[in-house]
Amino acid sequence: MGLLSMFSADLAIDLGTANTLIYVRGKGIVLNEPSIVAFNRDTKKIVSIGNEAREMVGKTHNEIRTIRPLRDGVIADFEIAEGMLRAFIKKINANWLPGRRIVICVPSGITEVEKRAVRDSAEHAGAREVHLIAEPMAAAIGVGLDVEAPVGNMIIDVGGGTTEIAVITLSGIANEESIRFAGDEMNNAIIQYLKRNHNMLVGERTAEDIKCKIGSAMPLEEEQTMAIKGRDLVNGIPKTIDISSVEIREALSEAITTIVNAVRLTLEQTEPELSSDILDRGIMLTGGGALLKGLDERIRLESSIPVHVVEDPLTAVVLGTGKVLEDLSRFSKVLLKGRNY
Ligand code: ADP
Ligand code: MG
């Protein structure tokens, strides 16, 4: 019996492409783990999820495979995604009583079919009542913006699989852009760069590590170097090289330009009254990608609008989803509507 076993747990879930976070009504965040599943290739049985599965990435043998079922911001592998959600819920040991609810956030660019898939997963995992909320809306509520007022707020959420840019006013999204270009693409850019320029092959985890430690979107006050290990593409032997933050910035530059261009496009499509609010209030930058050094400064430079990195970019979405769960009647307007939602 776990700590939470005595509660009837209504849940708020941020089913992210990189990380899944679960908030229990009245309690707060109880789970924060990577959205990764390790499963048996033959039987498709789940071997482990979350942190435990992450340890296995790139280190499996023939029988076991690890995947990120939500990779590009959608449920890429329905069955496995559902199994993962179910396993996470089981892990927090929530004792679900009749009437249990889930508020779950989804990328704003998601299709009706994908919404249906998320909803079905939540239902199969045991929910009686499922509500969906768009990720940027949840993030805006999470960072304490007044989303109900007739005032424009721009929020940029740079996650693993998608970057979501949205202008929010009067409990709704006035305009938005969702691109499948975010943290994963940055990792991939680093892998390609090292291959091309150093004949070196590194795994995804190493690339992510490099990005978080010395990655940047603007020149650093003090440029850094990092020793990295990988495999030499020419002779196949493991090797270590020193790589500088200047090189990694070059590797990331295309990915960052894509994100910055999407921000500019969204601004161009924003109604002038809302634009002037955004100019006054600044842009809120959230999601794990907001932690990339200099990304805020870069967007500021190219949009001439102040940019604020939110206090905790990795939890804003789940906290916002949690606030909605705590007061569903107040926030009913922010929920996604559609057939059956
Ligand atoms: P999602 O909502 O898609 O699950 P998150 O908001 O949890 O995504 O962010 C995950 C992404 O943030 C990953 O691509 C991760 O590499 C990236 N990230 C986390 N910390 C940093 C950092 N310090 N610098 C750059 N990127 C980071
Ligand atoms: Mg997210």
Ligand nearest to the CA of 20: 1
Residue 311 Cα, ligand 1 centroid: separation in angstroms? 14
Model pLDDT, residue 4: 46
The overall average pLDDT reported for the chain is 91
Give me ligand 2 centre to Cα 19, in Å: 7
pLDDT of residue 5 exceeding 50, the answer is no
Within 6 Å (CB) of ligand 1, which residues are found?
16-19, 159-161, 183-184, 208, 211-212, 215, 287-289, 291-292, 314
Span 161-180, pLDDT tens digits: 999 999 999 999 999 999 98
Is the pLDDT assigned to residue 212 strictly greater than 80?
yes
Share of the chain above pLDDT 70, in %: 93
pLDDT in tens, 119-139: 888 888 888 899 999 999 999
The pLDDT of residue 209: 97
pLDDT > 90 fraction of the chain, expressed in percent and rounded: 72
pLDDT digit string, tens, across residues 235-273: 999 999 999 999 999 999 999 999 999 999 999 999 999
**Residue 341, pLDDT score:** 45
CB atoms within 10 A of CB 186: 27
Q: What is the pLDDT of residue 98?
A: 54
pLDDT value for 125? 80
Best substitution site from 88, 211, 249, 295 to test ligand 1's pocket, by max atoms within 8 Å of Cβ?
Answer: 211
pTM confidence score: 0.93
pLDDT on residue 96:
61
- What pLDDT digit, counting tens, does each position of 39-91 carry? 998 888 999 999 999 998 888 888 898 988 887 555 667 788 888 988 998 88
| Least confident residue range of 64-73, 154-163, 202-211 | 64-73
pLDDT, tens digit, 9 for 90 and up, residues 302-336:
999 999 999 999 999 999 999 999 999 999 999 98
Q: How far is the CA of 315 from the centre of ligand 2 (A)?
A: 8
CB 81 within 8 Å of CB 36? no
- In angstroms, the CA 282 to CA 263 distance is 13
